[in-house]
Structure formats: structure tokens, C-alpha cells
Amino acid sequence: MTYEPVIGMEIHVELKTKSKMFCGCPAKHFAKEPNTQTCPVCLGLPGALPVPNKKSIEWTIKLGLALGCEIPLFSKFDRKNYFYPDLPKGYQISQYDQPFCVNGSLSGVRIRRVHLEEDTGKLQHTTLDGKRVTLVDFNRSGVPLVEIVTEPDIRSPEQAKEFLKKLYQIIRYLDISDADMEKGSMRLEPNISVRPTGTKALPNYKVEVKNINSFNFVKKAIEFEVDRHIKLLESGETPVQETRGWNEGKGVTVSQRRKEEADDYRYFPEPDIPPARWDSSQIIGIKLQIPELPDQKAARFKKEYQLNDYDTALLTDTKQLADYFEECVKINKIPAKKLVNWIINKKVDIDDVLPATLVKSIIAATAVVAIPDEDLEKTVQTVIAENPKAVEDYKKGKQQAMMFLFGAVLKQLKGAGDKNLIRELLEVKIKS
């Protein structure tokens, strides 16, 4: 019997707002001294009341719109109750049955919901006075966190990786998060099961692998889990529904805890935050803030600049690079292909080299320095006479031999002369 993977994704993304989700503490927490970015609200102290961050709500809706989601005109926050050392209140303010965004899609994968919640603190395992201890840093507690949840539409590790890369690209284009996985601001969690090939029913279990910080690690974790599930099923066992972690050093997943169901969290509406009500004009206003997205920009570049798929994909990888290219185009009508080659092949640092400076460099480097015809012909004859083996190789069909001869002529001319004319003259002289 053969099996196919059934994969859904949960992706957590920290928004790069200046302040946290429900208080005025700075949201920028990475590498800060532990527990210095906190207040009674994000520490969950008695009597402290949350005040929602308007910008984070607007950015969540912006992301939902970019993913083709419907935006309900009524939404609310809920309390998700569980006890863990990094959760100071004993509950997390999240969204349950009425999130900000529902029913979207990306690259053929249905998006079930895009909702907003607060991040937790961070546990640090260390040794103090010879004892193994766990410390809690609450700097991250309360940072606005968007969660994107897909339907189980993904059928391979490769598809999962490509979907995540496309989502990452859109988030960066929207400029709502740095999505820096090394810093934990984008965390990837596949839900994995397998079923016999050709069946339609969803499996009666799923395994979630938590907090992966690399597209490649997601792919490897899924591959490992799919193989593990198939072996269990073929031995007559059903994989345990659980949460697992990815051990990148060993290349395996490890069991963490049995997977909770929604009932275990005892969701109920957050009593300290009124529901959110929108009108259509507000949603339209947010939609107008969405820039040209990667696929739209790529289609336009191909049509407007006659670029191939490869060059287009490289140029539109980031909004910054795409904008830089178009700034260069506006300055001077350098052929787009030549401009792309310089930006990509020369590895131009777009943060240091201004578009105008790059354009001047290209014009100067590609300007044709004229030389007398007799000098050009004499140089070509000399190169041919000095390299009989290369000439014979070219006559036998070895194209690299022509590149060698062409390079030798350019070297003697110190880069001067019309390159097309040099190539034509070489071919004529070799055949004569």
C-alpha cells in the first residue's frame, strides 16, 4: 500500500509594531536584557487591563486581505486558558470562533483563518550554582503575534516549503514583520498525518511539530514524520496524536506532549476588551494600503521589461530589490536585461550603491572605445597566429575555444573596441 501526506500549517509571525499588543512596552525584545521590557499588563499582574494595539489589528487585516481572506465586520478576542511558566496570566488573549480574517488562499492552499493574539514569554534553560534551572524572560510576553492557519491541503514536503516561502515573501512585501526566523519572529508548525493514496477522508489523527525556524527544517521534519507514520501504520499502529519538537542536530522529531483539543483550552470571550465592529469603508481603506504584491509585480516585470522567469523571480524576491531595479530604469534607458545582469551577477549592494551611481558605472564600463580598423585587424591576426590549437578546436565545434580567443583579443586591446565586431572578425579570419 502507498500513502500520501496530509499537511496543514500553522505559522506564527511577530508584528513589528513599536509597542506590544495590549500595553505600551516596546515590542522590540530581541537581545534585550531579560525582563526589562515589561509592565504590569504584560506581566499579568492583578488589576492591570489590556488596551488593544490598533496598528497590529490593521496589519492583521492587511495580511488577510493580501491572502484573499474575507473580513467579517464583527470580531472579538477570547481567553485561551492553559498553565505554563511562560504565560504569566494563566491564559493567553487570542481569537477563537470569530477571528479577523477567514477563508483565503495562497498557491492553491486554502487559508482557514488569520487571527491575532499575544506572544508568550521565553524559557531559558541554564545552570546556576551547579543546578539545572529554567528561567523566564517576559520581554517577549505580549508582543503582537499573527497566526495563519491553513486547511490540510498540502501533499508533499516540497509543496510545504514553497508555500511557506511565498507567505514569507508576502509578509515582507507588506512590511508588517521582519519575519526573521533566527530571531523567532516567524515560527513554522506543520500538522502532519498520512492516508492511503486515493482516499479522501482525513486521517483520524495528526501530529504537530512545533516552533521550527527554517524552511529546510520544515521539509526535513515532514519527511521524517511521514516516514515514521507509514512505518507505524504498516505495523498495525495508529500514530499518537501529539505535539513534537524538531531536533536539528539529530535530524529527528521528539515527543513533547499529547496534543490538546479546543475544549481543553476553555475558550471564552475576553471580558476586558469590547468586540471589534467594522464598516466596509474601513476595510476598503486598509485594502488601499496594500502594495503591489510579488506575483503581480512579477507579471508586470515580464510584460513591461520582457524579462524571463528566472530574472523576474530574482528581481522580485524582495520589494527592496524590485524597487531598486525600477529606480535604475527611470534614470537611464539601459536595456533591462543588461541592468538585471549587473545587479545580480555583480552582487550589487543596494543598501550602499545608489541607483544613479550604478547607472553611471554601467554606462562607463560598457562604453565602446573606438580603435582604428587596421589595429583591430592586426590584433585579431596576431591572436589567431599565436593560438593554433584554439583555432583548430573551434573549427572542430568547440565553442569555448572562441571564448578563449575572444578573451585574448580583449586582453591585448585592454577592453577597447566593439565586442560584436571583434567576434565577427575572429570568425571571418578563422574561416578564411
Q: Which residues of the chain form CATH 1.10.10.410?
A: 373-431
Q: What confidence tier does 403 reach under pLDDT thresholds 50, 70, 90?
A: confident
Of 222, 219, 192, the closest CA to residue 207 belongs to 192
Q: What confidence tier does 387 reach under pLDDT thresholds 50, 70, 90?
A: very high
pLDDT at 277 over 80: yes
Cell matching residue 177: 514583520
pLDDT at 256 over 80: yes
Cell matching residue 7: 499537511
Q: What confidence tier does 197 reach under pLDDT thresholds 50, 70, 90?
A: very high
In this structure, which amino acid lies at residue 247? N
Q: What confidence tier does 69 reach under pLDDT thresholds 50, 70, 90?
A: very high
pLDDT at 344 over 70: yes
pLDDT at 367 over 80: no
- Report the range of poorest mean pLDDT among 134-148, 292-306, 320-334: 320-334
pTM of the predicted model, to two decimals?
0.84
What is the pLDDT, as a whole number, of residue 247?
A: 93
Distance between CA 366 and CA 369 in Å, rounded?
A: 9
pLDDT at 133 over 90: yes
Average pLDDT of the chain? 92
Which whole number is the average pLDDT over 74-87? 94
Which whole number is the average pLDDT over 76-84? 94
Q: What confidence tier does 174 reach under pLDDT thresholds 50, 70, 90?
A: very high
Which whole number is the average pLDDT over 128-156? 96
Of 296, 319, 318, the closest CA to residue 66 belongs to 296
What is the pLDDT, as a whole number, of residue 2?
A: 93
Other Cβ atoms closer than 10 A to 22: 23
Question: CB–CB of 189/9 below 8 Å?
Answer: yes
- How do beta strands 207-210 and 186-196 pair? antiparallel
Give ∠ CA 69-72-78 in degrees, rounded to 5.
105
428 or 247, greater pLDDT: 247
Q: In what order do the strands lie in the sheet with 207-210?
A: 101-106, 109-118, 144-150, 3-14, 186-196, 207-210, 242-247, 252-258
Cell matching residue 276: 471589534
Distance between CA 346 and CA 349 in Å, rounded?
A: 9
Question: CB–CB of 60/100 below 8 Å?
Answer: yes
Architecture of domain 373-431: Orthogonal Bundle (1.10)
Of 187, 140, 182, the closest CA to residue 27 belongs to 140
Cβ density class 137-147: b for 16+ within 10 Å, e for less: bbbbbbbbbbb
pLDDT at 364 over 90: no
- Report the range of poorest mean pLDDT among 165-169, 272-276, 300-304, 423-427: 423-427
